Amino acid sequence: MKIQIRIITTLFCLFATGPLLAQEPESPKEIRSETKLPGTAAPQTKIQALLSELMTRSSITGLVGENGGQHIFESGTKFPNLSGLKAGSRITYNREFEYGGIGFKHWWETWEINLEYRTTFKNQRTGEGRDEDFLLGSVSREKGTKIDFANASFYDTPYTFTGTQNFADGRGKLKMKDDRIGFLARKYFGGANPDPRKPGSGLYLTGGAYYTYYKYYLYDVMQWIATSPVTYGPIGIGLSYSISTWEVPFGFGYRYSNGTWMYEASLSGNIWYSHFRDYHYQRNLNFIGDSSGFGIETNLGAGYILPSWLFFVKLTEHRLYGEGSFQTQGGLSREDIISNYSGRYRNYLSTKQYSIEFQVSHFL
Could you give the CA distance from residue 78 to residue 323 in angstroms, rounded to a whole number? 17
Q: Which helix (H) or strand (E) holds 314?
A: strand 309-330
E strands of 189-260, at which residues?
200-225, 231-236, 239-257
At residue 19, the pLDDT reads: 43
At residue 152, the pLDDT reads: 86
218 and 129 Cβ atoms separated by less than 8 Å: yes
State how beta strands 231-236 and 239-257 pair: unpaired
Contact partners, residue 222, CB within 8 Å, separation at least 6: 170, 171, 172, 232, 233, 234, 235
42 and 316 Cβ atoms separated by less than 8 Å: no
Q: Which helix (H) or strand (E) holds 21?
A: helix 2-22
114 and 102 Cβ atoms separated by less than 8 Å: no
Could you give the CA distance from residue 225 to residue 220 in angstroms, rounded to a whole number? 16
Please provide residue 353's backbone torsions phi and psi, each rounded to the nearest 5 degrees: -150, 170
At residue 7, the pLDDT reads: 42
**For 132, how many CA atoms within 13 A lie in the half-sphere containing its CB?**
19
User: What domains are defined for the chain?
Assistant: 60-363 (2.40.128.90)
pTM of the model: 0.82
108-123 core/surface letters (b: 16 or more CB in 10 A; e: else): eeeebbbebebebeee
pLDDT, one tens digit for every residue, the chain (364 residues): 444 444 444 443 443 444 444 444 444 444 444 444 555 545 568 888 777 777 888 999 999 999 999 999 999 887 765 556 688 999 999 999 999 999 999 999 999 999 999 999 999 999 999 999 999 988 889 988 899 888 888 989 999 999 999 999 999 999 999 999 999 999 999 999 999 999 999 999 999 999 999 999 999 999 999 998 999 999 999 999 999 999 999 999 999 999 999 999 999 999 999 999 999 999 999 999 999 999 999 999 999 999 999 999 999 999 999 999 999 999 898 888 988 888 889 999 999 999 999 999 999 8
At residue 81, the pLDDT reads: 58
Closest residue by Cα to residue 359 from 305, 309, 311, 304: 311
